Amino acid sequence: MPRKRHEPTKQTRELVTLHSTVGTNQDIVADIIGITAKTLRRHYREELDQSTAKANASIGGSLFNKAKGGDTTAMIFWMKTRAGWREKETDNGSAELVAALAALAGNLPV
């Protein structure tokens, strides 16, 4: 017996928008509505795409404003993800760490 054809409603569009905005997996959203993921993408493509883009813009804007305001963690995160900065591990740092740990271990009570 064939399934009944799915017809989106205002309520299901709002539900998809909400879940897509917060990052709910599409398979789970489809299950909540009672349709397949393929049907979800066919009928709700605009809600899925726009909600994700709007959420990313909102959070990205907040991060950008924190970085501009002097939040060092936000600045570092922005530079690593948007400007290609990366941390380099050097042998000097490792050698210094080993020496410091050895000195500390030598001062521990037995």
CA atoms of 87 and 75, how far apart (whole Å)? 14
Report domain extents, the chain.
10-106
- Phi/psi for 100 (5° steps) reads -65, -40
pLDDT at 48: 96
Percent of the chain at pLDDT > 90 equals 69
Gyration radius (Cα) of the chain, Å = 25
- Please tell me the pTM assigned to this model: 0.65
CA atoms of 51 and 21, how far apart (whole Å)? 5
Average pLDDT, the chain: 88
Closest CA relative to residue 8, chosen from 61, 59, 45: 45
Q: pLDDT tens-digit profile of 85-110?
A: 888 766 666 777 777 777 776 666 65
- Phi/psi for 42 (5° steps) reads -70, -45
